[in-house]
Amino acid sequence: MKKKVYIISHSHWDREWYMAYEQHHMRLVELMDDLLELFETDPDFNSFHLDGQTIILDDYLQVRPEKREAIQQAIDAGKLRIGPFYILQDDFLISSESNVRNMLIGMEESRKWGTPVMLGYFPDTFGNMGQTPQMMKQVGLEAAAFGRGVKPIGFDNQVLEAENYSSQYSEMWWKGPDQTEIFGLLFANWYSNGNEIPAEKEAAIRFWDQKLADAEQYASTNHLLMMNGVDHQPVQKDISMAIRLANELYPDYEFIHSNFTDYLETVQQDLPQDLGSVEGELTSQETDGWYTLANTASARVYLKQWNTKVQRQLENVTEPLATMAYEVTGKYPHDQLDYAWKTLMQNHPHDSICGCSVDSVHREMIPRFEKANEVGRFLAQEALDQLATAIDTSGFSKQSYPFVIFNTAGMPKTGSAVITLELERKRFAEGIPEELYQELAEQPKKYYHVETSEKKQIPALISEEVVSFGYDLPKDRFRVPYMARYVTIELPIDEMPAFSWETFALVEGATDEKQESMITQAGRCIENQFVHVSIEQNGTLTLLDKTTGQEFEELLTFEDVGDIGNEYIFKQPENEQAILSKDQPRSTVEIIKDTSEIAQIKLTQTIDIPISADDRLEKEQQMVREFRFRQAQRSKETKPLTITTLITLRAESKKIDFTTTIDNQMKDHRLRVLFPTKLHVEQHEADSIFEVVARPNQVSASWENPTNPQHQHAFVQLGDATQGITIGNFGLNEYEILDGKTIAVTLLRCVGEMGDWGYFPTPEAQCLGVHQFDYSLEVHSGKDKFATYKHAYAAQIPFSTKQLSIQVGKLSPKNQYLSIEGETFAITALKRSKLNDKLVARGFNMSSHLESLHLTKNGKKGKPLNLLEEECQETIDEMLQPYEIRTVGFEEE
Do residues 366 and 436 share a domain? Answer: no
Q: Cβ contacts of residue 346 below 8 Å, gap of 6+?
A: 15, 55, 87, 352, 368
What is the rounded average pLDDT of the residues 311-317?
99
Averaged pLDDT, 255-277 = 96
Question: For 41-83, how does the pLDDT look when each residue is reduced to its tens digit (9 = 90+)?
Answer: 999 999 999 999 999 999 999 999 999 999 999 999 999 999 9
Give the pLDDT mean for 849-864.
95
pLDDT of residue 462: 96
Contact assessment for residue 231 and residue 758, using Cβ atoms and an 8 Å cutoff: no
Summarize pLDDT for 440-466 with one digit per residue, the tens.
999 999 999 999 999 999 999 999 999
- pLDDT of 841 strictly over 80: yes
Nearest to 242 by CA among 303, 202, 177, 198: 198
Average pLDDT along the chain:
96
Model confidence at 285, pLDDT cuts 50, 70, 90, reads confident
pLDDT tops 60 at residue 565 = yes
Active site residues: 124
Is 459 part of a structural domain of the chain? yes
- Give the residue, 700 or 198, on which the prediction is more confident: 198
Q: What is the mean pLDDT of residues 295-312?
A: 99
| pLDDT reading at 137 higher than 90 | yes
- The SS3 call for residue 218 is helix
In a domain, 76, yes or no: yes
13 pLDDT band, cuts 50/70/90, is very high
Helices 301-311 and 334-345, axial angle in degrees (round to 10): 170
pLDDT of residue 385: 98
In this structure, the answer to whether residues 321 and 406 fall within a common structural domain is no
Q: pLDDT at residue 160 above 80?
A: no
Both 594 and 698 in a single domain?
Answer: yes
Q: Check whether residue 506 and residue 529 sit in a common domain.
A: no
Query: From CA 599, how far away is CA 530, in angstroms rounded?
Result: 14
Q: Cα–chain-centroid distance for residue 279?
A: 23
Tell me the per-residue pLDDT of 666-694, one tens digit each, with 9 for 90 and over.
999 999 999 999 998 999 999 999 999 99
pLDDT value for 163: 46
Residue-level pLDDT at 455: 94
Does 534 lie in the same domain as 473?
Answer: no
Which residues constitute the domain of residue 502? 401-516+799-803
CATH, residue 496 = 2.60.40.2210
- Predicted confidence (pLDDT) per residue in 381-413, tens digit: 999 999 999 999 999 999 999 999 999 999 999
For residue 729, the one-letter residue type is N
How far is the C-alpha of 304 from the C-alpha of 744, rounded, in Å?
17
- pLDDT of 515 reads 79
Does a structural domain hold residue 96? no
In-domain check, residue 813: no
Return the pLDDT at 1.
Answer: 79
Strand pairing category for 825-832 and 839-845 = antiparallel
Cβ–Cβ under 8 Å, residues 596 and 513: yes
Residue 721 scores a pLDDT above 70: yes
End-to-end CA distance of the chain: 63
pLDDT at 585: 85
Given 208, 241, 272, the domain boundary residue is: 272
pLDDT at residue 511, as a whole number: 82
Tens-place pLDDT, residues 770-793: 999 999 999 999 899 999 999 999
pLDDT at 164: 45
| pLDDT bracket for residue 156 (50, 70, 90) | low
Q: State the average pLDDT over residues 323-331.
A: 98
Statement: residue 155 has pLDDT above 70: no
CATH number at 67 reads 3.20.110.10
Q: Which of 803, 826, 851 finishes a domain? A: 803
pLDDT digits (tens, 9 = 90+) for 498-549: 999 999 999 999 887 777 899 999 889 999 999 999 999 999 999 999 999 9
Same-domain pairing of 31 and 161: yes
* CATH, residue 344: 1.20.1270.50
CA dihedral 489, 495, 498, 500 (to 10 degrees): -40
